[in-house]
Structures are given as C-alpha cells and as structure tokens.
Structure 1
Amino acid sequence: MQVGQAPASLARRACSSRAERTRRRGRWWRLDAGRRALLALAHLRNGDTIARLACGFAISVTTAWRYVREAIGLLAADAPDLNGAIRRIGRLAYTILDGTLIPIDRIADQRPYYSGKHKRHGVNVQVIADCAGRLVWASPALPGAVHDLTAARTNGLIDALNSANVMTFADKAYQGAGGSVRTPFKRHRHRPRLSRRQKTVNRHHAKIRAIGERAVATLKGWKVLTKLRCCPRRATAIVQAILVLHHVQTSRNPR
C-alpha cells in the first residue's frame, strides 16, 4: 500500500488529536495513530475494503470500520467551505466547472440516485478546476438523479461564482446559469444550424473545458470513489476528506 507522506502526516495528526484521545480513552485504540492513519489512507487511496484492511492489520472488521469512519470525519471537518474556496477562486484568471457521477451500490430507495445520463446509480459531485486543470474544490454530494445545473445551484456555486465575477467555463448542461458562467452554443428549433463563428467558439470552448477533466481525474484517482460501498449520505464526508488530503499534498509538492 503506497500512500503519500504529506497526507499520511495530516491523517496521523488527526487520528492522534488530544481531544479525540481524551474522548475515546485508551482502551479504544487497538492501533497507534500512525497505523490508524495508514489504514484510513489505504482505504481512501487504494480502495481497499474494510474486510481486507481488518485482515491486514489484524483487527476486527468493526474496529477497522470505526477507525476509517473517525479518520474521515476528522479530515472532513478541515475541508474548506464554499466561501473559503471562492476567496481562492477570485484570484484566478478563470475556472472550469464540471459535474461527475460517483457510482454507488444499489440501495433500497434507489430511484433518487439513478442517473439517466450515465445509466447507473451514483451521487452527483460538482468539481471546480483552475486554468491548469488543478482541483480547487468539490461540492457536497447530491443524489445522481439531480441535474448538473440544479446541483450547482443547490450548492450555491452559481450565485457564488457570479458574485465573485469569475469567468467560468462549463458544458451545455449548465445553460441558463447566466452571469459569468459561459456555455457553448447549442442547437434548438429556432437555431437548427450553428454558424461558422459559433462552431469555432464551441471548439475553443471545448479545448478549455477539456483541461477541467484533469481535476475530475484527480478526484477519482482516489480509488475509494471508483464505487462507493457505503451509505450514499457518507459520500460528502469522503469527498471532503480527500479534498483536504489532496490540498495538503499539492501544497507540499507544488508542480
């Protein structure tokens, strides 16, 4: 299991916080802080199952799940909110907004989580990238049936980006967002064919948006997001924990 030193250091500090040790008492910990951090990182980065981790660390499945859940909660608590992200975004030349679906296992109430676009169950996460394709922020997760524009509005992204007056490039799913959000031209019954100029604009727009796919790939590089095998309501905390670890890693290893 290979994990970065910077995320491991942060996870270790989170797992060994004095308040947490006091609250849980000594008998709770079967592993020291470093081993608990390694266990949580192996789950997030490599996507190792709880049962496999429990076997590898010689602890029970219940204990392994408890350690992972608590580490994720501690990390997610340090995740930047939208206001903090907008302060950083406001200094950028422009941003790229895109939505991605994180697959989940089927659940009892599965209809809200079924995405007709992707033909599978999942949760919708909105991703903001900078002009170099670096991951800046990821939104709380919403059911997969929610449209990208609705998800962006629900999370306050559209209003925040317009208030900051940041030029934002997005795909056709965000048409109607208005303000500083720029989307490609789209054919409709009153515009059956696009002009040559509009096609040229769309090509350049697509080249810019393609850069934003790097941020989505960065997020999904954490293998736990290949397919979530937990309650969908935990998706937000997992994404926020990953965002914190990613920012720590990139701040110590700038490109």
Structure 2
Amino acid sequence: MPSCSPPTGGGCAPRAAVGCWARSVRACWLRWFRQRGCVQCLANNADVSQATGHRYLHEGVDVLAEQAPDLHIVLDRCWQEGMTHVVLDGTLIQSDHLACVRENGNGLWFSQKHKAFGSNVQFLSTPDGTPLWVSDGEPGSVPDITAARIHALTACTRPPQTVCPPWATRPTPAPESASTYPSADRKASPNRPSTPTPEPRTP
C-alpha cells in the first residue's frame, strides 16, 4: 500500500504534496464525470458529508470550466486546421423542479419542447461529433435559436477572408429611347404600303 506521507530525506520533494485523502476526494468527483454516480455514495466513499461532497464537486467543475477554451479561440483553431464546417446544436440538461416563473406564469426553467425542467446549453462540435466548445446555460424556456444568438452566432459570423468575385450573368441591354424605335413605315414591307390607299370614287 502506498505511503500517505510525503517522501523525506535527500530526495527532491514535490512542489505540492497531496495526501491520500485529497487524492481520494479528487477521484470521487472525477468518477462523477465518468459514471454520473450518486453524489451521496461518492461522498461516503471519501468519508465526507453529502454537503461537502457537493461543494467539492462544484469546485472541480469550476476548475475544469476555467480551462475551457474561448469560442473565438476554437473557431480560429478550426479555421487554421482547414475544417470546412462545424456543427452547432443545443440540448437540455435536465434538473429538478425550480420555482422561478416568467411574466406569463409559466416556469422559467421549464422547457415546453422537452416537457421537463433544465438548462438550455449550446455546443459546438466537429463534423464527426467531437465536442469543441460548450456555452453557459440558459433557462429551459429559452428557445434554441435565441440561446444560439446570445452565445454563438455573433462569434460564428465572420467576414470572408477574400472578396468573392461577382457571378457571371447575361449582359442586360440598355433600354432604347422612343426615338430609336423603328417607325411603322420602316417595319412595313417596301412593296406593301403600311396604310391602304383609298380607291377613287366613280360618278
């Protein structure tokens, strides 16, 4: 069994000695990300209370969230790697019932589309589905297009790198004026007068 105390003697000590208890707590909230297990069960395994387990879990989430790249950095990286397109989609992360209501009396965090409480999260992925970026959560009542406009569409819209050439179209002739149109006499055949000549009357 490994020793729980930091090494002593002439050897180089680590910069930050982490005990077995701290490693077990970190392993618990890492297990939650992989297995989505019960927080109370993970807290019992780490020999901490349920409230302390939730606090450690939220601290771990904050640490990982601080290391997440910004959307502009992700888009620049995709542009440099030559990706033809990325996929933007939204999903509902379900949660327990929340008492917040909107002006019309409906639940703020209740999604009429999914018929459940939760948070609307937008995410960006590669064409094969690899996740690249995740937005902050919006209330479940917010539509996907509204959440996308708040977090993603403003950054995804970028001017083109080069000026696109105009499309080739048929040339449109200039309109002719009234003076250039041929007269009726010119249109008529030279052998046939345009206006019939009246025959002379006989007495």
TM-score of the aligned structures, taking structure 1 as reference length: 0.50
For residue 106 of structure 1, what is the aligned residue in structure 2? 97
Q: Distance in 2 between matches of 1:109 and 1:17?
A: 46
Q: Distance in 1 between matches of 2:51 and 2:159?
A: 45
- Counting matched residue pairs gives 141
Residue 21 of structure 2 is aligned to residue 31 of structure 1: yes
Q: Distance in 1 between matches of 2:131 and 2:94?
A: 20
Q: Distance in 2 between matches of 1:133 and 1:45?
A: 18
Deviation at 1:59, TM superposition (A): 2.0
Pick closer, same or farther for the CA change 1:17–1:80 going to 2, 3 Å.
farther
For residue 154 of structure 2, what is the aligned residue in structure 1? 159
Q: Please say which structure displays the higher CA radius of gyration.
A: 2
- 1 or 2 for the larger relative contact order (CA 8 Å, sep ≥6)? 1
Q: 1:170-185, aligned counterparts within 5 Å?
A: none
Pick closer, same or farther for the CA change 1:82–1:17 going to 2, 3 Å.
farther
Deviation at 1:164, TM superposition (A): 6.2
Deviation at 1:154, TM superposition (A): 0.8
Equivalent of residue 56 in structure 1, options 45, 48, 68: 45
For residue 238 of structure 1, what is the aligned residue in structure 2? none
Equivalent of residue 90 in structure 1, options 69, 79, 89: 79
Describe the SS at the equivalent of 2:43. Answer: helix
Equivalent of residue 40 in structure 1, options 29, 37, 42: 29
Pick closer, same or farther for the CA change 1:120–1:62 going to 2, 3 Å.
closer
Deviation at 1:99, TM superposition (A): 0.9
Taking only the aligned residue pairs, the percentage that are identical comes to 31
Q: 1:122-201, aligned counterparts within 5 Å?
A: 122-155=118-151, 157-163=152-158
Q: Which amino acid aligns with 1:118?
A: H
Q: Distance in 2 between matches of 1:165 and 1:134?
A: 25
Unaligned runs of 5+ in 2: 1-13, 102-106, 162-203
What is the RMSD computed on CA atoms of the aligned residues? 2.6
Contact 2:88-2:123 within 8 A present in 1 as well: yes
